[in-house]
Amino acid sequence: MKVNGRRRTARIVSALAALATVALAGCGADNTSGSEQSAGGADSPAAALSGTPITIGYAASMSGAQASNGLGGKAVAHAWQEYTNAHGGILGHPVEITVTDTKNTVPGATSVVKGFMGDSDVDAVFMTDLVAESAMTDTFRNTDVVVISANGATNVPWTTVPGLFQDVSGAEYAARVFADVAKAAGTEKLGWAVCSEVANCQENSDKGSAYAQTLGVAPVGTQLISASASDYTAPCLSFAGKGTDGIAMYAGYTTGTRFATDCLRQGYSGIFLTANSGFDQTAFGKVSGFKSYGSTEGFPWWADDPAVATYGDAMAEYSPDGAWQSGNATAIWSSFELFKKALDDAKPATIDRATVMDAMYQVKDETLGGLLAQPVTYTEGEPSRPVECSWFLKFDAGDDEPTSIEPAKSGNGATGDLASTCGDSVGS
Whole-model pTM: value is: 0.88
So what's the pLDDT on residue 42?
A: 53
Mean pLDDT, residues 11-31 = 31
Distances (CA, A) of 5 to 8, 36, 120, 145, 174: 6, 19, 10, 18, 43
Mean pLDDT, residues 100-119 = 96
Above 60 in pLDDT, residue 41? no
199 or 352, greater pLDDT: 352
Q: How far apart are CA 47 and CA 12, in angstroms?
A: 10
Least trusted range by pLDDT, from 22-31, 67-76, 271-280:
22-31
Q: How many CB atoms lie within 10 A of CB 20?
A: 14
Q: What is the pLDDT of residues 51-90, one digit of tens each?
A: 999 999 999 999 987 788 899 999 999 999 999 999 999 9
Above 70 in pLDDT, residue 32? no
Burial letters for 294-326: b for 16+ Cβ neighbours within 10 Å, e otherwise? bbbbbbbbbbebebbeebbebbeebbeebbbbb
3-state secondary structure (DSSP) of residue 211: helix
Is 125 within 8 Å of 57 (Cβ atoms)? yes
So what's the pLDDT on residue 1?
A: 33
Q: How far apart are CA 319 and CA 74, in angstroms?
A: 9
Q: What is the pLDDT of residues 127-154, one digit of tens each?
A: 998 778 889 999 999 999 999 997 766 7
So what's the pLDDT on residue 22?
A: 28
Mean pLDDT, residues 292-321 = 97
Average pLDDT value over all residues in the chain? 88
3-state secondary structure (DSSP) of residue 301: coil
Q: How many CB atoms lie within 10 A of CB 134?
A: 20
Least trusted range by pLDDT, from 31-45, 99-113, 169-183, 383-397:
31-45
DSSP string of 269-294, one letter each residue: -SEEEEEGGG--HHHHTTSTT-EEEE
So what's the pLDDT on residue 35?
A: 52
Is 57 within 8 Å of 72 (Cβ atoms)? no
- Residue 404 burial by CB count (10 A; 0-12/13-18/19+): exposed, middle or buried? buried
So what's the pLDDT on residue 37?
A: 61
3-state secondary structure (DSSP) of residue 40: coil
Q: What is the pLDDT of residues 355-378, one digit of tens each?
A: 999 999 999 999 999 999 999 999
Distances (CA, A) of 106 to 60, 67, 93, 114, 175: 12, 14, 33, 12, 23
So what's the pLDDT on residue 48?
A: 80
Least trusted range by pLDDT, from 114-128, 168-182, 303-317:
168-182
Mean pLDDT, residues 263-281 = 94
